[in-house]
Structure 1
Amino acid sequence: MVFRLELQSAPPLHLTPHCVVHTGTVRLFVPDTLIHTATAPAEQFGFFLPNTHPLPEDACEPYLWSEMYLMTANAASANIPFGITHTQAAYVPDPRAGLHRWLHLTAAAHPARELRLSYRVTVQTP
């Protein structure tokens, strides 16, 4: 299944010099031409969080807590599952072959026709 996402982020919230919270919303949607089935597995999706700083290669690995919440759903049918699962944040290598790693959020979704999700990633450096 192919779905698209639109991302809106809020400015980072600096709780302490060593703790930053990144929040925003994601809209997942699929083209109307796709046929959904009740037995289809959840599809992986992910995105790099905007307004984040890279993690230099010599930096200690920060502690990460990731959360994603379902805000609204537009389901095609009552028999089709929808929702999200397996939310995880990690610093991953730069896809442009840079030297730093960037904050990336992944999850798996049964997107129905459209899902609006809220996310929060807390980053605490040692």
Structure 2
Amino acid sequence: MVFQLELQPAPPLHLTPQCVVHTGTVRLFETGTLIHTSGAPAERFGFFLPNTHPLPEDAPEPQLWAEMHLMTATAASVSGDFPFGVAHAHAAYVPDPRHALHRWLHLTAAAHPARQVRLGYRITVQSP
């Protein structure tokens, strides 16, 4: 299954000159037929954070803390006990897929399928 997603970032919060917090929400949804089995593993997804700056080539790697939480979920009409939610949030600066020289802030996680899931995210970037 491939999730479609819709991002709603908040303005970055600059706690100190070396510490920035990026927050927002992401809505994951499936528009086609949803086949949901009780033993299905969580589906991986990821996205580049909007409103961020690239990591300069000569900059040291910052420390990153990624967090995601479930805000709402809309399940398909099914009977039985099916999990839904998010796990394994991870942030990293990864190369631009358009083959540019810079690396950009990217968030990945895994979500259990549901008709629609709204997640909150927070990434703290601490530069040395």
Q: How far apart are residue 31 of structure 1 and its match?
A: 2.1
How far, CA to CA, are the matches of 1:33 and 1:112 in structure 2? 11
Structure 1, residues 47-91: CA drift from partner, whole Å, max 9, x if none?
000111000121100000110010001112352211111000000
SS at match of 2:83: coil
The match for 1:79 among 69, 81, 85 is 81
Output aligned runs, 1:10-25, within 5 Å.
10-25=10-25
- In structure 2, the residue matched to 1:41 is 41
How far, CA to CA, are the matches of 1:9 and 1:111 in structure 2? 22
Q: How far apart are residue 32 of structure 1 and its match?
A: 4.2
The answer for unaligned runs of 5 or more in structure 1 is none
Output aligned runs, 1:22-101, within 5 Å.
22-76=22-76, 77=78, 78-101=80-103
The match for 2:125 among 97, 104, 123 is 123
Q: How far apart are residue 111 of structure 1 and its match?
A: 2.6
How far, CA to CA, are the matches of 1:34 and 1:115 in structure 2? 13
Q: Please tell me whether the aligned partners of residues 20 and 124 of structure 2 are also in contact (alpha carbons under 8 angstroms).
A: yes
Q: TM-score, normalised by structure 2?
A: 0.94
SS at match of 1:89: strand
The answer for unaligned runs of 5 or more in structure 2 is none
Task: Output the amino acid matched with 1:70.
Answer: L
Task: Output the amino acid matched with 1:20.
Answer: V
Task: Output the amino acid matched with 1:119.
Answer: Y
RMSD over equivalenced CA pairs, Å: 1.0
How far, CA to CA, are the matches of 1:122 and 1:99 in structure 2? 23
Q: How far apart are residue 106 of structure 1 and its match?
A: 0.2
Q: TM-score, normalised by structure 1?
A: 0.96
